[in-house]
Structure 1
Amino acid sequence: MAFVKDQSAGYLANHIARLFARGLAARIKPLGLTTGTFPALLELWEKDGLTQKDLVARLDIEQATMANTLARMERDGLIVRRKDASDGRKQRVWLTERARGLQGPAIEAAIAENADALSGLTEEERRQFVSLMRKVIETSKPEETPHQPGGAIISG
């Protein structure tokens, strides 16, 4: 069986992701934000005071990537890290006033980018598209196993 990139869900999903990221980047750059920090901001706007471990799990990214992202966010004045009041070994990530003030304009930018990117679809097609993407995400997530935290063995 031949690989045809225009028929590959993975290839097309990656292409769509790059197009969305490029469009969003242009919209949030004037706010001083990047697409690298945007997912963490979304999680913290939803629930401030998460730990780095919480963010890694919610965003399904590597620990090292999250550490670098948080370092940039701290440098840019978007977050502060403080020791957990009940467990001094943990650090909690808190939004700064600056980051809280950017929530409205950043969310508006994301909504506008989604609307523009999906403008060629009917409302029903948009709902179906998003629903199918959620379904693929759920079936693609690795299952936790006792021998391999964070993922199942992939056979092939």
Structure 2
Amino acid sequence: MSNNRERPAPPLMISLVGSLYGKMRRECDNIFREKEFPLEMDQIPVLMLLYYQEGASQQEISQKLQRDKASVNRTVSFLLKKDIVTVIQDTADKRKTRVELTATGKKLARQANTALEKFDTAFSSALTEEERKHFQDIMLKLIGKPAT
């Protein structure tokens, strides 16, 4: 009896997206390790969100990154201990706190942004401009955001 009939194949789209995610994550991780970047890949999205938004509440971080609150709390606590972020009381609502980058955090975010831009350029170099635009539109559609 053939093994191919006994073992089901994973759904193609899930498999392809998973493979692409794994490849991108490994290559980004290698870039950051080569540069002796002090953060892990799981912490980079929080750093970059704070960089692009100039601060956010932990709830906003959780929602925008689609991560559970406990994970965001652990990341923020780690970044706080490393003097990468500061947690301040929201001026409009005293019950809330905001997480903002320190000078050290902004410097790290700029370094990470430069590395990510280089990775993005290298990664997408296999595609034509039309393919890149089409790929971006498809990805935005799949994650439920309007195409640019």
Scaled by the length of structure 1, the TM-score of the pair is 0.78
Match of 1:36 among 34, 42, 55: 42
CA drift of 1:75 comes to 2.1
Q: Who is 1:15 aligned against?
A: 19
Equivalent AA in structure 2 for residue 32 of structure 1: P
| Runs of 4 or more above 6 Å deviation | none
Q: Who is 1:144 aligned against?
A: none
Scaled by the length of structure 2, the TM-score of the pair is 0.82
2:102 matches 1:86:
no
CA RMSD in angstroms, aligned pairs only = 1.9
CA drift of 1:132 comes to 0.5
Equivalent AA in structure 2 for residue 89 of structure 1: R
Equivalent AA in structure 2 for residue 41 of structure 1: L
CA drift of 1:103 comes to 2.6
Q: Who is 2:3 aligned against?
A: none
Match of 2:55 among 45, 49, 55: 49
Change (3 A) 1:114 1:49: closer
Q: Who is 1:99 aligned against?
A: 105
2:138 matches 1:136:
no
SS state at 1:31 partner: coil
CA drift of 1:33 comes to 2.4
Q: Who is 2:4 aligned against?
A: none
Q: Which runs of 5+ in 1 are unaligned?
A: 140-156
Alignment of structure 1 residues 58-77 onto 2, 5 Å: 58-77=64-83
Q: Who is 1:115 aligned against?
A: 121
Deviations 1:101-121 (A, max 9, x none): 123321111112122222322
Equivalent AA in structure 1 for residue 19 of structure 2: H
User: Alignment identity in percent?
Assistant: 24
2:51 matches 1:26:
no
Residues in 2 aligned to 1:64 and 1:98: alpha-carbon distance in whole angstroms: 24
Residues in 2 aligned to 1:84 and 1:41: alpha-carbon distance in whole angstroms: 19
Equivalent AA in structure 1 for residue 106 of structure 2: R
SS state at 2:91 partner: coil
